[in-house]
Chains A and B, each alone.
Chain A
Amino acid sequence: MVRRRAPSGNHSVTRLSARQRRQLAHGLQYGILVVGVIVIVLLADWDAIRQSFLNTRIAKEGLPQLFTVALRNTLVYTVTGYAFGFTIGLALALMRLSSVGPYRWIAAGYIEIFRGLPALVIFLMIGSLPLGFPGFYLPGGVYGMACLGLGLVSAAYMAETFRAGLQAVPKGQMEAARSLGMPYGRAMVSIVIPQAFRIVIPPLTNELVLLFKDSSLVLFLGVTSSQVELAKFGNDQASTFANPTPILVSGMTYLLITIPLGYFARRLEASREIGR
């Protein structure tokens, strides 16, 4: 095409048809991709990569503790923290929508503070709590501290999610329940909250994924080798064997949980769309 048009006039060099422009843009995009891949393949030292990141001999050293200890603890920290955050978060959401002013202010203040703080800062604070409150002791030691830390952080996010869910339930639901003679509290518990839950399940699943990753901060609380979670486990192993493969292995283990969970959340979201 280009060749045929070239001799026909001097405009043809500068002016391309829309189709030609699209083709050129396409060509450029594929070109960049291909060159990028080639450059990476050529620049990468594949032996070094295999030796450092895909060293199966060292990866095997972590078994079975990778699953029986590290993944198990990560799940325990996540699930307990999530349960705590869920409870506090729901309470905060109800407080936020309360007709009692101080409840609204307290909930709003909590949410603003704990959404605005990095989780790491909260973990460092929890470690020092007994200094300000002598005799302060959390049951379960580091498990209790992790549950508190992860719970405090996730409660703020979950409160906002719950609030959105509660407000998304059509007003008519509450009004209908009240007109049937149900008291406000009863209507909330039996009619509104169950519907709100249905709405917030996908975002709450995402929150679980986020919390699962945040559980790596537990290492800053100080852990024994039986309390170790995935990130520290990988880092320690990498240090012991002077090879970063265990860090990659830990990362893959996170993905074993986070990818299916993310998929599950998207499925739930999709099925809700269909249900409407």
Chain B
Amino acid sequence: MTYSVIRGGAVTAIVSVLLLTACGGRPDGANASADPGGVRLVNPGKLTVCTNLPFEPFQFNQNGEVVGFDVDIVNLAARKLGVTQEIVNIDFAVIKSGAALNSGKCDLAAAGMTITEERKKNIDFSVPYFDATQALMAKKGSGITSLDDARAKKGFKIGVLAGTTGLDYVRSKGFDPVQFADANKLLLSLDTGQTGAIVQDLPVVRTWLKKPDIGAKFELIANFHTGEHYGIGMKLGNAALGKVVNESIEAAMKDGAYDAIYKKWFDDAPPPATTP
């Protein structure tokens, strides 16, 4: 009896091991494809990019397609690699912690993401490709002109995007802001009165206010001149991909492709300080 049990077990063991070895390839080895430059992509033939939608004009849905400034910037690198870009919409918290990159969800993170010392511990950044600051936006006639005015009003709530430098900035001024999971909900909170004002990246606020229905209701209150630079994020130590991204951005800044992208999304030429 013991013998037959053991034999049964042995047969199962062999079968299971065969099955497991047949389908148990390790993801980092099996799925990655190598190109001549030594760049390994999580999905062969595609440059998979994590972002948090919408973040107009950097990435947003237009006629069922994700487009924007960041999308065009990453396309420069994709073209250089000879692959197409695929965009994954994901929580910003997972992007900035590096979890999305480390878990092999995507090759790059392009999400209008500011380069900070703290984030550099968890992700590698490309060269800066955009200058931004934080701005305060409120309903027209809100009566506030600064964060201090907001502080003086009792029950006045400031809204921010969760996990962003906007949150860090408002916190550093002693507020406990209401955090939203994406920019749509942030803007909605201002409309519904859940928040009295919101702090958001200036280029995003400017793009919002250019739209007639939003511009009619809200206004830019203040620019905080936080002096931030956006960078494309990638997994720590992914130097091969970093090199391609940096070279594609630097080349575009030299040959005018960058200016063309800038003009496409902001209707004007980049300020002279943009070139790093």
Contact = CB atoms under 8 A, between A and B. Distances in A.
A263 interface: no
Interface residues of B, number: 44
Interface in A113-159: 127-131, 137, 141-142
B209 interface: no
A127 B188 contact: yes
Contacts of B97: 238-243
A12 interface: no
A238 B181 CA distance: 15
Contacts of A1: 1, 3-4
B165 to A, nearest CB: 13
A236 B180 contact: no
A183 interface: no
A86 to B, nearest CB: 27
Contact of A28 (B8, B24, B194): B8
Contacts of B252: none
Contacts of B191: 130-131
Given A20-B4, A239-B94, A31 B194 contact: no
Please report whether the interface of chain B is mostly helix, strand, loop or mixed according to DSSP: helix
A238 B162 CA distance: 13
A224 B181 CA distance: 12
A35 interface: yes
Given A1-B1, A239-B96, A240-B97, A223 B9 contact: no
Query: Which bucket holds chain A's interface residue count?
Result: 35 or more
A31 B192 contact: no
A241 B7 CA distance: 50
B147 interface: no
Contacts of B7: 2, 27
A109 interface: no
Contact of B162 (A3, A130, A236): A236
Contact of A23 (B8, B94, B96, B185): B8
A235 B122 CA distance: 16
Given A35-B13, A127-B188, A24 B98 contact: no
Interface string A18-32: 001001101110111
Interface in B146-194: 157, 159, 162-163, 176-181, 185-186, 188-189, 191-194
A210 B146 CA distance: 43
A142 B195 CA distance: 11
B6 A43 contact: no
Given A23-B4, A31-B8, A238-B93, A130 B178 contact: no
B158 to A, nearest CB: 9
B30 interface: no
B162 to A, nearest CB: 7
Interface string A226-256: 1000001001101111111000000000000
A160 to B, nearest CB: 31
A36 interface: yes
A127 B192 CA distance: 8
Interface in B91-124: 91, 93-94, 96-99, 121-122
B8 A244 contact: no
Contacts of B193: 130, 137
B141 to A, nearest CB: 15
Given A28-B11, A31-B11, A127-B185, 8 more contacts: A26-B8, A31-B13, A32-B12, A34-B13, A222-B159, A224-B178, A236-B93, A236-B162
Interface of A: 1-3, 20, 23-24, 26-28, 30-32, 34-36, 39, 43, 127-131, 137, 141-142, 219-220, 222-226, 232, 235-236, 238-244
The 5 closest A-B pairs by CB, nearest first: A27-B8, A31-B12, A239-B93, A31-B9, A130-B192
12 contacts: A2-B7, A27-B8, A27-B12, A31-B16, A32-B16, A36-B16, A129-B192, A222-B159, A224-B178, A236-B93, A239-B97, A240-B97
